[in-house]
Structure 1
Amino acid sequence: MKNGKRPTRRQQELIKSAGWNPDNWLVVKHLPTEMHLVHRDEGTTKVIWI
């Protein structure tokens, strides 16, 4: 699994709009249509469709 990066302010807003706490998520991949996230503690992955 790839290491995630801290989300930028714009990415944090997208994570908040999905109903998740941006402090708990790291960005693995940011594409024009989707953003792949990994949870800091659990290691679970989720995808936000933009």
Structure 2
Amino acid sequence: MRGKNPTRRQMAIIEQHRLKPANWLVVKNLPDALHLKHRHTGRRRVLKLGRRAG
């Protein structure tokens, strides 16, 4: 599965998890998780997102 470049909002989330957004592609964008794929190694990673209040 191919990944897409992250949006500005997604880049901020990736940076909050201490990763470099330039190295990651977004494979899946779910309400509670962001599925990423590393550009060079192909390693996959899932970032859990906090729930919104309200």
Q: Kindly report the root-mean-square deviation, in angstroms, between the aligned alpha carbons of the 2 structures.
A: 0.2
Q: 1:7-22 maps to which residues of 2 (within 5 A)? A: 7-22=6-21
Task: Tell me by how many angstroms 1:5 deviates.
Answer: 0.1
Kindly tell me the number of residue pairs found equivalent between the two proteins. Answer: 49
Task: Tell me by how many angstroms 1:22 deviates.
Answer: 0.1
Residue segments in structure 1 that go unaligned for 5+ positions in a row = none
- Please give the TM-score of this superposition, normalised by the length of structure 1: 0.97
Segments ≥4 residues shifted beyond 4 Å: none
- Please give the TM-score of this superposition, normalised by the length of structure 2: 0.90
Identity %: 47
Find the counterpart in structure 2 of residue 36 from structure 1: 35
Find the counterpart in structure 1 of residue 46 from structure 2: 47
For the pair shown, the structure with the greater C-alpha radius of gyration is 2
